[in-house]
């Protein structure tokens, strides 16, 4: 006995595959590679990841090889100019992102002018903005 929802499920799947393919076509190769690495990390089904790789034109075998490689191995391979290099750099970017540089603390400088001075300066600023229209 066939499932009555089979046709609807197939139609939804086909539509989703078309959407993924269309979205992937708008991404640069490095963005597609990074997205694929993120999908491989968030998806528990290797079969689904492999299907996604086919849709976005990423080598599934290379992906599985590089996501399990050590950082030193990936650093050695990152200068490759082919699609494998793009994938290696994507794995590095996602898994071994450089730590954010600490920003200089924002220093609060209090405005010690009197209320009259602040009001006078605000009015002058408004008048000046009206003259530039």
Q: Write the pLDDT tens digit of every residue in 71-110.
A: 999 999 988 888 789 999 999 999 988 777 777 787 888 8
Q: What is the mean pLDDT of the chain?
A: 88
Q: Where are the alpha helices (DSSP H) in the chain?
A: 6-25, 29-42, 46-56, 60-67, 71-77, 83-95, 115-131
Ramachandran bin of 57, using left for φ above 0, alpha for ψ from -120 to 50, beta for the remaining angles: left
Q: Output the six-digit token pair for 114.
A: 């009197």
Region 43-72: what's the mean pLDDT?
93
Question: For tokens 């528990």, what's the residue?
Answer: 44
Report pLDDT for 87: 95
Report pLDDT for 89: 94
Query: Is residue 133 predicted with pLDDT exceeding 70?
Result: no
């Amino acid at each position: 006995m066939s499932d009555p929802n089979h046709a609807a499920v197939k139609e939804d799947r086909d539509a989703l595959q078309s959407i993924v393919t269309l979205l992937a076509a708008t991404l640069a190769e490095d963005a597609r590679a990074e997205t694929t690495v993120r999908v491989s990390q968030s998806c528990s089904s290797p079969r689904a990841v492999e299907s996604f790789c086919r849709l976005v034109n990423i080598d599934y075998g290379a992906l599985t090889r590089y996501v399990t490689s050590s950082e030193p191995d990936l650093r050695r391979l990152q200068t490759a100019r082919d699609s494998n290099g793009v994938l290696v750099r994507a794995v590095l970017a996602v898994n071994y992102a450089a730590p954010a540089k600490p920003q200089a603390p924002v220093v609060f400088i209090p405005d010690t002018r009197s209320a009259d001075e602040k009001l006078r300066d605000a009015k002058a600023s408004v008048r000046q903005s009206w003259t530039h229209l």
